[in-house]
Structure 1
């Protein structure tokens, strides 16, 4: 999503975000555009609710990326699959490390 850095899934949301999200029923929009995909939901939520400081050049970059994605949907699906697999492997690896390094209580 970002040309010069990785997208930060742990980006803190503004403190006052809950009221407008509820008032405008933005969660309904997120649910509709993400079709139940929790990862995409979280990305959309963070991007939409923290994007007020976006520069014009970043918007242009996003528009070009979207245009490219719309022209190549198979590539996007493939990349999404690979990203999901990598996230799952990382979760499994972290869990395995925790289980391996945690001493058994007798």
Structure 2
């Protein structure tokens, strides 16, 4: 408490301003779009059902990332036109091998 008591008005104002600046940065960060996990299940089927997923800012970004990974230069597979599941809570996934 002694350190606080010894602050000058100028020092106290600077500390308060620094705290306000930090709070403003936190609020700004909350408004920025974060990464989300988009999951398409039962897609890209051949003999068995496939899965596609992407960690992206929005669904269109996710589609583009998957298409790029698959080697598509334009557009994306028709299956990705479906709405994906948006994962926002901890969840585990698996794909069981088969034919």
Structure that is richer in strand per residue: 2
TM-score by length of structure 1 reads 0.30
Structure that is richer in helix per residue: 1
Name the larger-Rg structure.
2
TM-score by length of structure 2 reads 0.32
